[in-house]
Structure 1
């Protein structure tokens, strides 16, 4: 009888050491302002060393305070530092280990790099990692304490914004304009967690401790506290569907814009924060999201440097200098052995890190497949219920009102046509300030697409949709030679149909075009572009 490899080795499993994986928890990247970059870099290094001194269980060697390379071994609380000076560049990097006080075999590792480059401000980056054999790591990320020390004593800028330990308070409409500008800034990398107050007179949210939340996410996320006057301005600019107010909280991820998908930027309603336990759950989720985004948005080797890479460069430079100086064979061999040992440690660490990322990838792939499956099931269920209502003489869309202007159309579509029709970001942008003025006709066409047009695609195919009159002067037709490909939600589609008015004119004031396709998987109409005629190779 044959056995699998796992069965054959099961008797040995209890004797084998548990696999320890290194997880990267968060990354911080920024720069330190100041007229003298060398002085502010030296001050930041001092803050990091003072923090490391309190945690090392002893006394750091004199080389540490002289800003030189050193190795400090202290029963698991080990610290190492590399100073790499080459030409006009100066890099200082440290790595410190700290065993968890409550969980056995869990070890926290902190890496910090402070760099000076010609004609640039002092660069600062940090990584927090954890090594553990735990199969299911459950933590609430918190940036290391030295980040707060650097922010308070040296200042630190990240994503073009000066970091603050306390939440940023926005009280007036003028304050709200500053926030709006930062929300839509395409260069912004850090997520913004906007917490609103339900009424005037409140100094803080009744259940969310925004001060503690801001400290925990310092360097990986901003916390904004909005008073009611400021929330009204957000609603006027982005619409209710993308705004936040009345004691609710919302995260605005990087890349947010006027045409962003509101479901990506998660909203936590006030009634989901009404108890201490509910607020604690929301806080935990916010901290985890900020940490995940920091690893996702910053690039290792560009925004954040690893200690291993700098140590290897230092050892390589040492070898080269020994060769140039014609040093003894024994000295060169010792340098080579040191570099080999460092590279072996780096390879082992990268292998552990790779295992972690593969495991995380598999989790995300499974989650994406489950989400897609559930979305398809929901779409079929919604269609089934809609057909039942229609068969009984009820019109589920009877009470849908039309938007009163172009600025409301995108939100109106997201709210009333969700699950049946979706506007791509390109279509969202087209509805901002178009030259075509008849927004009501455009809204009626979208409603037709989400109802009659979609039903015909589901039940009757495409054959009976060609040259269908939707209203006087407005028709649905095949794109023909104007068909084009576009990407949406990670997939490629062909916009092969469009709604048109204005005859053959291409005057954007009188011409309406809504380019779309039907996705059989989600059973949605996907509007790729509107409301102007699109320039193509055929036109």
Structure 2
């Protein structure tokens, strides 16, 4: 038996990921009928859209079809409700970018549920374009199958008109099984609309977006009262209202995530947005769809339990070997052993290919990371220069230009609005604020401003530590270093993970203090460290005293 592992065949150009998804096949009848209908739907799409011609015998048995370099292989094990398909085909004549598409598709029953996986990759015969769009045939395949991921992926928006549906929405966006983003679209506040004489209800056409984002994201439209119900239920820092759009990525954790980790776009930003040769809401919609596609390319999914063709061949050979174990026909057993050996060779070649692709993607990601770090550093420098110029030119004293909130509930949003790029409140610090007992929330904000401005200026060489300490004394504050005896256990309160979601552990080296009383109403402590990489103060705890650990 010749190897059919053309995915791992030697190629001059590497495979680039284009699209991937893992979902369930929605039950509509018994599981066997759903399994058969899914294979029939796949057969119809392939016969109609792909260059293999009509599949006369369907895909209900093992097959291998080849024509002019286009190849389709499939493995089916009915008793396991397992179907796996792999194909390669070149782009149609007249396509401006020469390329070859590679599809891997798998269906298998696990615990009474039909799991589905699909990944599409491309090989470009010349330099790959900067913007890679999936083949149109892919969306025909997605439309044909009843895919389900907490909700049906039917290309229709979820319209939420009453606050009673908000708990279900929160449960959905918080599900760890969700692997697609959720786009929340809020209704315009007509009384605050100034762009045109007649305000629209929504800036984004949710029907158009949901249709074109099918298989890439879920789209949710929130009526005006539902935005407030959402904010009240999930917290102010995740609000979305008055025409704004919020994107919640997979793995959303409202307690531990920072809002900056997810996308938020205000109505002013959307209305004036420019993308390619478009502007306004049309430009924003095009940008959003392009971003969803790019994010899908980079998504890492867990394929555990699914069988691509090489692995399915190995499993099928093992099942057949068991069936032949009691037979005395040595010739048949020898043929089966050869098939099993070739299947294992294909599986090994696939694993080597995947490792090669992963290494190439990791190297590309590392290169991109270095590039964006340098870009970020340059932009920060530019912002610093512009900020200094505005500060020197303004006749309004800096202390009067930034309003100070009077309650702890307002502090996270205030930090995001006025101290962004200078000071970061870690999620743990934000969670401490609703339970804060220190009596003066405005003083906490003044202390944060001193860190974001005077302390940061001293760190960057634009000011002096002496000036910072002098200003601290004016508010009755002083800075203290965390003593080694205070960091006694690896998991103690003085250590945080930073950057967010990384395993890198950082010590809260300093704290800004007021008072020595153990009464939390009169004792202020803001624990932080200086991050050299981002030139920001990172606050990990406030406003109460952390326990001192000595063991």
TM-score by length of 1: 0.80
CA distance in 1, matches of 2:315, 2:71: 21
Superposition deviation, residue 497 in structure 1? 0.9
CA distance in 1, matches of 2:206, 2:70: 32
Superposition deviation, residue 183 in structure 1? 3.4
Q: Does 2:488 align with 1:488? A: no
CA distance in 2, matches of 1:78, 1:110: 10
TM-score by length of 2: 0.78
Deviations 1:319-349 (A, max 9, x none): 45445534334x4444344445445555555
CA distance in 1, matches of 2:153, 2:55: 29
For 1:70, which of 43, 60, 63 is the aligned residue? 63
SS of 1:62's partner is: coil
CA distance in 1, matches of 2:152, 2:48: 27
Farther off after superposition, 75-84 or 401-410: 75-84
Q: Does 2:127 align with 1:135? A: yes
Aligned residue in 2 for 1:255: 251
Deviations 1:18-73 (A, max 9, x none): 72332232222222344733333333233222222323543324363xx3322233
Deviations 1:378-430 (A, max 9, x none): 44455556566667786434311112422221110111111221112222222
CA distance in 2, matches of 1:366, 1:328: 55
Q: Is the 8 A contact 1:467 1:477 kept in 2?
A: no
Cα distance change on mapping 1:386 and 1:297 into 2, 3 Å: closer
Q: Does 2:315 align with 1:313? A: yes
For 1:402, which of 374, 385, 404 is the aligned residue? 404
Superposition deviation, residue 186 in structure 1? 4.9
Q: Is the 8 A contact 1:495 1:528 kept in 2?
A: yes
Q: Is the 8 A contact 2:457 2:464 kept in 1?
A: no
Q: Is the 8 A contact 1:111 1:126 kept in 2?
A: yes
Q: Does 2:65 align with 1:51? A: no
Superposition deviation, residue 299 in structure 1? 3.2
Q: Is the 8 A contact 2:183 2:245 kept in 1?
A: yes
Aligned residue in 2 for 1:163: 153
Q: Does 2:38 align with 1:36? A: no
Counterparts of 1:294-313 in structure 2 under 5 Å?
Answer: 294=296, 297-302=299-304, 304-313=306-315
CA distance in 2, matches of 1:219, 1:68: 28
Counterparts of 1:457-536 in structure 2 under 5 Å?
Answer: 457-459=459-461, 470=473, 474-480=477-483, 481-483=485-487, 484-489=494-499, 490=502, 491-505=504-518, 507-508=519-520, 510-536=522-548
Superposition deviation, residue 370 in structure 1? 2.6
Aligned residue in 2 for 1:217: 213
Aligned residue in 2 for 1:537: 549
SS of 1:431's partner is: helix
CA distance in 2, matches of 1:313, 1:263: 45
CA distance in 2, matches of 1:308, 1:509: 66
Superposition deviation, residue 442 in structure 1? 1.9
Q: Is the 8 A contact 1:467 1:476 kept in 2?
A: no
Counterparts of 1:46-445 in structure 2 under 5 Å?
Answer: 46-56=40-50, 57-62=52-57, 64=59, 67-84=60-77, 89-101=80-92, 102-103=94-95, 105-117=98-110, 119-137=111-129, 138-141=131-134, 143-151=138-146, 156-158=147-149, 160-176=150-166, 178-198=168-188, 210-234=206-230, 242-256=238-252, 257=254, 260-268=257-265, 269-272=269-272, 277-278=278-279, 282-294=284-296, 297-302=299-304, 304-319=306-321, 321-322=323-324, 324-329=326-331, 331-346=332-347, 353-383=354-384, 395-436=397-438, 438-445=440-447
Q: Is the 8 A contact 1:498 1:513 kept in 2?
A: yes
Aligned residue in 2 for 1:23: 16
SS of 2:303's partner is: coil
SS of 2:513's partner is: strand
CA distance in 1, matches of 2:103, 2:199: 38
Cα distance change on mapping 1:385 and 1:271 into 2, 3 Å: closer
Q: Is the 8 A contact 1:167 1:225 kept in 2?
A: yes
Q: Is the 8 A contact 1:45 1:114 kept in 2?
A: no
Cα distance change on mapping 1:512 and 1:43 into 2, 3 Å: farther
Q: Is the 8 A contact 1:241 1:415 kept in 2?
A: no
SS of 2:154's partner is: coil
Q: Is the 8 A contact 2:22 2:301 kept in 1?
A: no
Q: Is the 8 A contact 2:455 2:465 kept in 1?
A: no
Superposition deviation, residue 248 in structure 1? 4.5
SS of 2:81's partner is: strand
- Number of aligned residue pairs: give it: 510
CA distance in 2, matches of 1:264, 1:436: 29
Q: Is the 8 A contact 1:166 1:214 kept in 2?
A: yes
Superposition deviation, residue 205 in structure 1? 5.8
Farther off after superposition, 495-504 or 430-439: 430-439
Gaps of 5+ in 2: 1-9, 191-197, 488-493
Gaps of 5+ in 1: 1-16
Cα distance change on mapping 1:294 and 1:308 into 2, 3 Å: farther
CA distance in 2, matches of 1:204, 1:45: 42
Q: Is the 8 A contact 1:482 1:536 kept in 2?
A: yes
Cα distance change on mapping 1:327 and 1:290 into 2, 3 Å: farther
SS of 1:78's partner is: strand
SS of 1:161's partner is: coil
Farther off after superposition, 133-142 or 455-464: 455-464
